[in-house]
Structure 1
Amino acid sequence: MEPISWHRERWVLAGTAMLITLLSGFIMPAWASAMRPSPLPEVHALLPLAVPEITPRIAAPEQDNWQSVRVQPGQTLSDIFADRGLGMSDLQTVMDAAGGASSALHSIRPGQEFDFLQNNDGSLDGFRFEKDAASRATIRLDGVQPTLAIQKRDMDVREQIAHGVISSSLYASAGQAGMDAAMVGKLADLFKYDIDFVQDLRAGDRFTVIYDDVYRDGQRYGHGDIIAAEFVNQGKRYTAYRFKKANGEFGWFSEDGRPIEKSFLRIPVDFTRISSKFTTARMHPVLGRMRAHKGVDYAAPSGTPIHAAGDGVIKYHGWERGYGNFVVVQHSKTISTAYGHMSRFVKGQHVGEHVRQGEVIGYVGMTGLATGPHLHYEFRVNGVQRNPQTVTLPQPQPLPAAQLAKFKAQVVKPQLARLEALDSRMRLARSDKPTRNSDS
């Protein structure tokens, strides 16, 4: 019996121990929680932060779609408007809105540009044009009333220097030196009183030119004026300097202060060749017999303008036997010039009318006794024909003494030094070039 009793006792002890363990599991956590200190309340601090400003996104304005139109030869402004689908009422609106600037629209030239701003339906919203070289006019028609704005352009003059040696032609050599055709024409105009650029040029002739180029808004706009120039033709040296005269006008003068512009043009027409020279005996191409030819024939295409050789009064204007359409200009008591074989005269000119040097008095033709289009030109002294190519032309008077001193000190001295220095450097550069070895 004893073993069983012991066994029961052990079970009682084990149950008691298990009961204590279970009670401890519930009592201890509760006691631990009761003994834990109360938590402190959380403290939140607000710190100021610099927030960058947010710029609202603004949509970029739409760019105006201007369309440029370049004037073609023979076009009028009304033609250009019609080509854009616009009528005369649109053109009149533009002219009215342009006000004083409209004078720039009265005479347009080939190559000139106009800008049009048109709506989707083709209606005109804006028109732009050059008021003058230094300003642009913009007319807006998309508001309640037309508006006109004048914008000044940034004009800049830049000095250029060119030096060349004639090898084939003036235009070819000047082009190689960086001069454009317009500036070459100005150079030829300066010296045309002394040099025949068709007959007189020789290989080795040389020139040096100081001139201005005009820039607008940073882009080359065109040519300016020649400031100083030197031309050596067949060993003879000619010079031209730009100088402001006492009356405020600019002119070109040689080193001795005489105007480059002589009293007479040596040749009054742009010609291709001399078809007949001044001579006391020539076989006449029409009459077939020997006859004096007391003038110079300059062959040129029909319609080429003929210019008055100097200031004067028209003494004869009409048909003359042998000469065809014929004009005589009296320049002084002793000197006159005659022009024959014209195809037609200038409308409105008549006997007794004053003409200026270079003014057009007729056009090349072959009226009268002529076998081809040319100008027959005579230079007469006291009614006697003289050879226009060799006759001594009257020298113009030099500048007055006070202006002459100023001209030589302020213009000739500094510019001449520049011309001579450049010419010397160019000749030295040419002499330093290595010669080509014929054996190589």
Structure 2
Amino acid sequence: MAEENMGALQARKQAICRKAQRLHCRFYERCAHWSFNRSSDVEPIRWHREHWMLAGTALLITLLSGFIMPSWANAMRPAPAPVAHTLLPLALPKADLVQAPVSTVDDWQVVRVQPGQTLSDIFNAHGLGMSDLQKVMDAAGDHKDALHSIRPGEEFDFLLGSDGSLKGFRFDPDAANRAVVRFDGAQPTLAVQPRDIDRREQVAHGVIRSSLYAAGDQAGVNAAMIGKLADLFKYDIDFVQDLRVGDSFTMIYDDIYRDGVRYGQGDIVAAEFVNQGKRYTAYRFKKADGNYGWFSEDGRPIQKSFLRIPVDFTRISSKFSSARMHPILGRMRAHKGVDYAAPKGTPIHAAGDGVIKYHGWERGYGNFVVIQHNKTISTAYGHMSSFVKGQHVGERVRQGEVIGYVGMTGLATGPHLHYEFRVNGVQRNPQTVTLPKPEPLPAAQLARFESQVVKPQLARLTELDNRIKLARANAPANHDN
């Protein structure tokens, strides 16, 4: 009986399988090759699209389980108990009811002087009047002289109130100081503040090819410094008549920097000029009285007792001669001076220190001045267009001081200066007369000058000359095509 039941059950299972196979015949056809049997007679497993889909699904379920389970575990944890805090009263310092004043920066308005402007023009442009300018003058005290003559490029600073009134004024009494005038107190105040001045030395070398200023420009030296160089050697060199091609100069000079910004050119420290093969030197030296001067290598002042030429001229229109044809009189006549042609109004300078001996009109000479320099030497100046106001006979004048202006008064065909150099009343040729040498420095100062100035500066000038000569010797020669 048992065997019959087992046979019926087995037959039923087979019937169910056959029915399933009929219903899912396509599936069984595709999956018939699946097997876990690793015997050699069975084909190895081949991965098809269905294999990859099943494997990807299983991997995705595994990953999601890794993320979801920890989050669920954290969610099941009990909330942490809050931490209790205790508040303790602290004693704080009392607040200061009076606040410190907030510092403010003054709003200074900087004005740069333009050509032709006056100080009153600048004040008017800021809505200020002559009364404000007078207040500044009064408050400036000993420094007000710097406000009487202003130059283009100079700077002035204004501090104005909200109502436009003048609260402060700043100006430079000299290159090294700044004067500050304030009017925001009960009384005007003046404070002088030193400026940060720095002198930076420069060196230059030039060779004359056409003119002195062209040589300076090629050497990188501005016209103002070249003017100072010419002013140093003007006692020995006539820069209009004596210059020759090939003349040269070497100089050490300084530029002035104020508060880190270039302020202008300084002074020549040392210089040499070679004119027609003759060498002239100049060295700056602080004398015993605290003033600076320029001296040659032997310690004699560069500034001679007399200027060789007392006027800036364009050409010599007539030289010293014992006989020449007078352009107006039309007959032979001695010309006991030198005529320097120059534009009308050119300043005429005293050739040396002395006393005015004659000041007025002289027949033939027109407006005429004679200066007595010592017992034996005098100089004379003719054909002036006008004199300097206030000068008169008996007044002492200093070398370089203006005594009149070029004109053509008297017997003259054009504006020029007729200049005479007289020794014991006899006219001598101003271009060739031997001028007296100035006295050298006293012995003690001369020793200091030679050791502290000449020796080191001469070494620098010599080194610079040698470097220039070496550079020229090594430079490739220029060949014309």
Which of 354, 378, 384 matches 1:342?
Answer: 384
Q: Does 1:163 align with 2:169?
A: no
Identity across matched positions, percent:
79
Per-residue Cα deviation, 1:292-338 (whole angstroms, up to 9, x for no partner): 21111000111111111112222222111111111111222222111
Q: Does 1:306 align with 2:345?
A: no
Sort the Cα spacing of 1:91 and 1:408 in 2 relative to 1 into closer, same or farther, 3 A: closer
Sort the Cα spacing of 1:79 and 1:370 in 2 relative to 1 into closer, same or farther, 3 A: same
CA distance in 2, matches of 1:132, 1:248: 17
Sort the Cα spacing of 1:287 and 1:210 in 2 relative to 1 into closer, same or farther, 3 A: same
Task: Compute the displacement of 1:361 (Å).
Answer: 1.4
Q: What does 1:44-123 correspond to in 2, within 5 Å?
A: 44=83, 64-98=106-140, 101-119=143-161, 121-123=163-165
Task: Compute the displacement of 1:389 (Å).
Answer: 0.6
**Partner of 2:358: helix, strand, or coil?**
strand
Which of 167, 180, 204 matches 2:222?
Answer: 180
Give aligned pairs, total.
Answer: 392
**Partner of 1:338: helix, strand, or coil?**
strand
**Partner of 1:280: helix, strand, or coil?**
strand
Per-residue Cα deviation, 1:77-102 (whole angstroms, up to 9, x for no partner): 23321222222333344445545554
**Partner of 2:231: helix, strand, or coil?**
helix
Per-residue Cα deviation, 1:232-266 (whole angstroms, up to 9, x for no partner): 01111000111222333322111111111111110
Q: More displaced, 347-356 or 416-425?
A: 347-356
Greater relative contact order (Cα 8 A, min sep 6): structure 1 or 2? 1
Task: Compute the displacement of 1:124 (Å).
Answer: 3.2
- Equivalent in the alignment of 1:128: 170
Task: Compute the displacement of 1:383 (Å).
Answer: 1.8
Compute the TM-score of the two structures, normalised by the length of structure 1: 0.81
Sort the Cα spacing of 1:149 and 1:304 in 2 relative to 1 into closer, same or farther, 3 A: same
CA distance in 2, matches of 1:349, 1:101: 27
Q: Give the letter aligned to residue 374 of structure 1.
A: H
CA distance in 1, matches of 2:185, 2:399: 52
Task: Compute the displacement of 1:208 (Å).
Answer: 0.8
Sort the Cα spacing of 1:164 and 1:120 in 2 relative to 1 into closer, same or farther, 3 A: same
Unaligned runs of at least 5 residues, structure 1:
1-38, 49-59
**Partner of 2:434: helix, strand, or coil?**
coil
Sort the Cα spacing of 1:63 and 1:291 in 2 relative to 1 into closer, same or farther, 3 A: same
From the CA coordinates, give the structure whose radius of gyration is larger: 2
Q: Does 1:434 align with 2:476?
A: yes
Compute the TM-score of the two structures, normalised by the length of structure 2: 0.75
Task: Compute the displacement of 1:402 (Å).
Answer: 2.8
Task: Compute the displacement of 1:339 (Å).
Answer: 0.8
- Equivalent in the alignment of 2:413: 371
Unaligned runs of at least 5 residues, structure 2:
1-77, 88-101
Q: Give the letter aligned to residue 421 of structure 2.
A: F
- Equivalent in the alignment of 1:402: 444
**Partner of 1:266: helix, strand, or coil?**
coil
**Partner of 2:441: helix, strand, or coil?**
coil
Q: Give the letter aligned to residue 340 of structure 2.
A: Y
Q: Give the letter aligned to residue 300 of structure 2.
A: R
Per-residue Cα deviation, 1:329-366 (whole angstroms, up to 9, x for no partner): 12222221111111111222222222211111111110
- Equivalent in the alignment of 1:354: 396
- Equivalent in the alignment of 1:42: 81
Q: Does 1:245 align with 2:287?
A: yes
CA distance in 2, matches of 1:364, 1:89: 40
Per-residue Cα deviation, 1:259-284 (whole angstroms, up to 9, x for no partner): 11111110011101101111122111
